[in-house]
A = this chain, B = another copy of it.
Amino acid sequence: MGDLKLNHSVKNGAVSRLNPLDPEEFRRQGHMMIDFIADYYQNIEIYPVRSQVKPGYLRERLPESAPVNPEPLEIILKDVQNDIIPGITHWQSPNFFAYFPSSGSIAGFLGEMLSTGFNTVGFNWIGSPAATELESIVMDWLGKMLKLPSSFLFSGGGGGVIVVTCSNNFRFRSRTNSLVLMLHRRDYLSSSTAVDPLGPLCDVAKEYGIWVHVDAAYAGGACICPEFRHFLDGVEGANSFSFNAHKWFFTTLDCCCLWLKHPSALISALSTNPEILNNKATESKQVVDYKDWQMALSRRFRALKLWLVLRSYGVTGLGDFIRGHVKMAKHFESLLAADKRFEVVFPTNFAMVSFRVSPLAIPNNEDVNEFNRNLLESINASGSAYMVHAVVGGVYVIRLAVGATLTEYQHVTMAFKLVQDRANALLCTY
Contacts and interface: CB of A to CB of B under 8 A. Distances in A.
Nearest to A287: B55
A296 interface: yes
Copies in the complex: 2
Contacts of A20: 105-107, 250, 312-313, 317, 321, 405
A53 interface: yes
Given A102-B121, A298-B167, A114 B38 contact: no
Given A66-B144, A73-B312, A133 B57 contact: yes
B133 A59 contact: yes
A406 B21 contact: yes
Contacts of A17: 317, 320
A123 to B, nearest CB: 9
A172 B295 CA distance: 8
Given A119-B253, A121-B253, A390 B104 contact: no
A389 to B, nearest CB: 7
A62 B191 contact: no
Interface string A37-72: 111111000000011010111110010111111110
Interface in A161-180: 164-165, 167-168, 171-173, 175
B50 A23 contact: no
Nearest to A171: B295
Contact of A22 (B35, B106, B165, B253): B106
A4 B377 CA distance: 44
Contacts of A106: 20-22, 25-26, 29-30
A42 B117 CA distance: 12
A182 interface: no
Interface string A1-44: 00000010000000001011111111101110111111111100
Interface of A: 7, 17, 19-27, 29-31, 33-42, 50-51, 53, 55-59, 62, 64-71, 73, 76, 80, 83-92, 99, 102, 104-110, 112-114, 116-121, 125-131, 133-134, 136-138, 140-142, 144-145, 164-165, 167-168, 171-173, 175, 187, 190-191, 244, 246, 250, 252-254, 270, 274-276, 278-281, 284, 286-287, 295-298, 300, 304, 308, 310-317, 320-321, 377, 388-391, 399, 405-406, 408
